[in-house]
């Protein structure tokens, strides 16, 4: 009886430690408020505006790179309403297009819609970071699964945006994306 009690106690302790880590010391534990004291201010209307170049990788569930991509974005804002057209080209030659419709509230809250987003995404820009949460539906060719997504964008001192996203199914991380985004004009200036 004592052995069973200690086995259950050990299992409960491990579950509590796992929950505590994921709640307080993991990627998902970040909050927009964590970035309020930063000196640089991420403003979607400024930093995601015009033509943008994106490069990144997608990690599969085992932590290995499963795909590499480049993206070309075109972002336009009218006041607090923006449209971001994205064209991604992957290392296997496939192309994916997405159009985000973004609405930015005066308090920094974000409302995001796209054809492969189930319902409505929501987020917050605060300090040097932007958080966006949404449910992403994979294309039929990838199984059509709906994944819970947490997307963070961080503003680097030179204006480059570093993006990290995690995709989860039933709370288990199945993929992670890391990418950079920067104005396309920056590439033209560096090439000259």
Q: How do residues 98-109 score in pLDDT, each as one tens digit?
A: 999 999 999 999
The DSSP output letter for 146 is E
Q: Under DSSP, is residue 41 helix (H, G, I), strand (E, B) or coil?
A: coil
Q: Under DSSP, is residue 119 helix (H, G, I), strand (E, B) or coil?
A: strand
User: Token pair for residue 19?
Assistant: 């929950």
Domain coordinates in residue numbering, the chain: 1-30, 33-191
Say which residue, 9 or 122, is predicted with more confidence: 122
Given CATH 2.40.128.20, say whether it is the number of domain 33-191. yes
**Mean pLDDT over the full length of the chain:** 87
Threshold 0.75, pTM exceeds: yes
- How many CB atoms within 10 Å of residue 42? 20
Q: How do residues 71-94 score in pLDDT, each as one tens digit?
A: 999 999 999 999 999 999 999 999
Could you please report the per-residue DSSP string of 44-111? HHHHS-EEEEEEEEEE-TTSSEEEEEEEEEEEEEETTEEEEEEEEEETTS-EEEEEEEEEE-TTSEEE
> Of the segments 16-25, 38-47, 63-72, which one has the largest average pLDDT value?
63-72
CA distance 153 to 100: 15
């Amino acid at each position: 009886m004592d052995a069973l009690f200690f086995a259950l106690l050990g299992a409960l302790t491990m579950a509590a430690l796992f929950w505590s880590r994921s709640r307080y010391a993991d990627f998902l534990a970040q909050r927009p408020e964590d970035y309020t004291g930063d000196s640089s201010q991420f403003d979607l209307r400024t930093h995601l505006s015009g033509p943008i170049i994106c490069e990144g990788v997608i990690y599969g569930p085992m932590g290995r790179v499963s795909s590499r991509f480049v993206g070309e974005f075109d972002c336009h804002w009218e006041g607090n309403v923006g449209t971001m057209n994205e064209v991604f080209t992957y290392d296997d030659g496939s192309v994916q297009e997405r159009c985000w419709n973004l609405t930015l509230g005066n308090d920094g809250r974000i409302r995001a819609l796209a054809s492969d987003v189930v319902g409505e995404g929501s987020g917050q820009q605060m300090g040097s970071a932007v958080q966006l949460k949404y449910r992403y539906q994979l294309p039929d060719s990838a199984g059509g699964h709906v994944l819970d997504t947490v997307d963070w964008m961080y503003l680097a001192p030179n204006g480059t945006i570093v993006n990290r996203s995690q995709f989860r199914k039933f709370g288990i991380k199945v993929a992670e994306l890391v990418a950079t985004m920067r104005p396309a004009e920056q590439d033209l200036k560096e090439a000259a």
